[in-house]
Amino acid sequence: MRRVLLLSIVVGSLVALVACTGDGVGAVADGPDASDPSRTDDTVDTGDTADTGDTADTGDTADTGDTADTDPPSTDDTDPSSTDDTDDTDDTDPPSTDDTDNTADTDDTDDTDDDYVPVMPLVCEGEFTESDLEDLQACTTIIGSLTVASSSLEELSLPHLVRLEIHRGVQISENDNLQRISMPRLEEIVPSSSSGYPFVIAENDNLRHIDMPRLHMLTYEIHIHDNKALESLDLSGLTMMNEGSVHLTANEALKTLDLSALTTILEGGLEVYDHPALESLDLSALTAVSGFRFGIVNNGALTALDMGALTSVSGGEFQLRGLGATGLAFPALETVSVEKRFYISEMPSLLTLSFPALRTVTVNGAWDMQHNEKLHTLSFPALTTINVADMVRVTNNAILTLLSLPALTSCDAYLRIEENPTLLTIEIPEIVHWGSLTWHNLYIADNPRLGTLKLPKLIFINGTITVSNTNVFTAFAAPELTTVGASIRLVNNAVLFAVNVPLLQSTALDLEVRQNPVLNSLKAGSLVMTGRDFIVADNKMLATLQMPGLMQVVRHFTVSDNPALPQADVDALIAQVEAFSGIGGNITTDGNKTP
């Protein structure tokens, strides 16, 4: 059973209540004159506070017989044939008390849209289908569910709907002839209690337009997917998602998505995935994202994305991937704090990426900046704090030349800088302590043109430093470094000539210097111990190994295949260590220079 309630405006003690069950409309409660058989049409007029009799005095022919008007007629009104009261102002009779403001009340409509005729509030409750759409045309509120599936409908219009309160979902799907969905006055979509069903518009092959221009508050989940002819989606009035979300997927013809009024995503989400024709997405008013999921992904024709007002990102994840944008700027963004991932990746045309105000990044997952093939520079001039549980990946950026973190002072993250073939410089000049309670590595590998790594103030890293597979990197320098919480690995650097770690005292795991063919000398004058292995191997030109303070190698000692390094120097170093705490594992020293 479907129930429709029509609630009129209250005037004094007069209330009209009309109920509709789908079988017809009937009056279930009238005002005091309801018993009058001569009164046929004034149940609406008696409640209109702007229509208490004054409109008849301006020429309103429809109001001359309004039995609800209790004012005595003017002398000019005694002629039953007269329908024009325009000369009532000359009446000698005193005006009724209700007519004292008639000159200011000639227009009693509250609607500002000249093309829209307002209707009385009408609440429709039930589980509706396409067969009920005609009955729903006058509804201003729908409570319940709506299913329109596999119909021959060409347009779905609910012209007066203002509020949609969903109990068991809305499903508009597989309607092959449907071309437009229009809800021009819809303002709110909210769940009824315990609703667990989404609002779905899906697989309508000829649907071209969805219009909800006045929807301003969304506290519900909308899924719009696989409508292959959909060209436009108008959500231009949407200002806030409060525990609401919009998920758009694989609407392959979608060209425009208007979210120009959206300012806040609060405990909700926005996902726009896999729209190859999408050219326009306006997010210029968005200031805060605090949703469980935000993703603009695989929209290759989207060449511009304005997020200039965004100041903070929090919640579950934030992804920008697979866009055609040539530049992305976040001039106001100061903080990012998300649970799963923060991705800006896979943008083949991206030339510039700007975060001038970003101060802190906290991710309980990964932060990715990968596969941006035309990006020249990554710079975060204000970034002081990185706290990423999984990994920060700067990888596979084909022409990246500079990674600059000039203000970074605190890094609790595994930073992986890998396979950037033109990367020349990595600058982290202010970092002092890297990592705290858990291991966080600095991994730099397969950047063949890397020439400069700046870590002038680094004292402690609770993890591993790796520099490997470079072709032009000549010197590793960490002049203030004293403690390494895991390992130092310098491996396969074609022109590495010098290693400068004069204050290094210990590594919790390994010291590994291997396959650096032009390395001439290795000096670590303050090194006392390695917590696991000591490995110096396959360095063809290494002639000097000086570790005057080394007293303990907890596990294996390997100094081998260094044909320019005198074996006598190696034997002396072994004897030195054995004289103190010793070597706990195997000793391998073959392949060094012998007399």
What is the average per-residue pLDDT within 304-333?
Answer: 96
Task: Give 121 or 181, the one with higher predicted confidence.
Answer: 181
Angle 300-175-161 from CA coordinates, rounded to 5°: 90
d(CA 154, CA 565): 85
Q: What is the mean pLDDT of the chain?
A: 84
Which residues share a beta bridge with 535? 512, 558
pTM over 0.85: no
Which pLDDT tens digit goes with each residue over 268-302?
899 999 999 999 999 999 999 998 899 999 999 99
Report d(CA 538, CA 465) in Å as an integer: 19
Interatomic CA distance for residues 183 and 136, integer angstroms:
12
3-class secondary structure, 63? helix
The answer to whether 29 and 15 have CB atoms below 8 angstroms apart is yes
Strands (E), 185-326: 188-191, 199-202, 209-211, 217-218, 221-225, 232-234, 240-242, 245-249, 256-258, 264-266, 269-273, 280-282, 288-290, 293-299, 312-323
Q: Which tens digit of pLDDT belongs to each residue from 328-376?
A: 999 999 999 999 999 999 999 999 999 999 999 999 999 999 999 999 9
- Encode 343-357 in three state secondary structure: EEECCCCCCEEECCC
Locus of tokens 């970092």: 431
* Amino acid at site 55: T
d(CA 302, CA 13): 59
Please compute the mean of the pLDDT values over residues 9-21 and round it to a whole number.
33
pLDDT at 124 over 70: yes
* Helix/strand/coil (H/E/C) assignment for every residue in 478-536: CCCCCEECCCEEEEEECCCCEEECCCCCEECCCEEEECCCCCCEEECCCCCEECCCEEE
Burial of 363 from C-beta contacts in 10 A (0-12 / 13-18 / 19+): buried
CB 316 within 8 A of CB 339: yes
Confidence label for 143 from pLDDT (cuts 50, 70 and 90) = very high
Instruction: Please choose, from the candidates 281, 316, 314, 313, the residue with its C-alpha nearest in 3D space to the C-alpha of residue 297.
Output: 281
Residue 555 banded pLDDT, cuts 50, 70, 90: very high
List strands edge to edge, sheet with 256-258: 155-157, 180-182, 209-211, 232-234, 256-258, 280-282
436 band by pLDDT with thresholds 50, 70 and 90: confident
Please check whether residue 46 is in contact with residue 11, taking contact to mean a CB–CB distance below 8 angstroms. Answer: yes
Region label for 126, one of left (φ > 0), alpha (ψ between -120 and 50) or beta (otherwise):
left
Phi and psi of 336, rounded to 5°?
Answer: -130, 125
Residue 243: per-residue pLDDT: 87
Q: CA-to-CA distance for 160 and 4, rounded, in angstroms?
A: 14
Q: Which pair of tokens denotes residue 257?
A: 């998505």
Query: How do residues 198-210 score in pLDDT, each as one tens digit?
Result: 899 999 999 999 9
Comparing 172 with 84, the larger pLDDT belongs to 172
Mean pLDDT value of segment 109-120: 56
Structure tokens at 138: 């006058």
For residue 230, the one-letter residue type is L
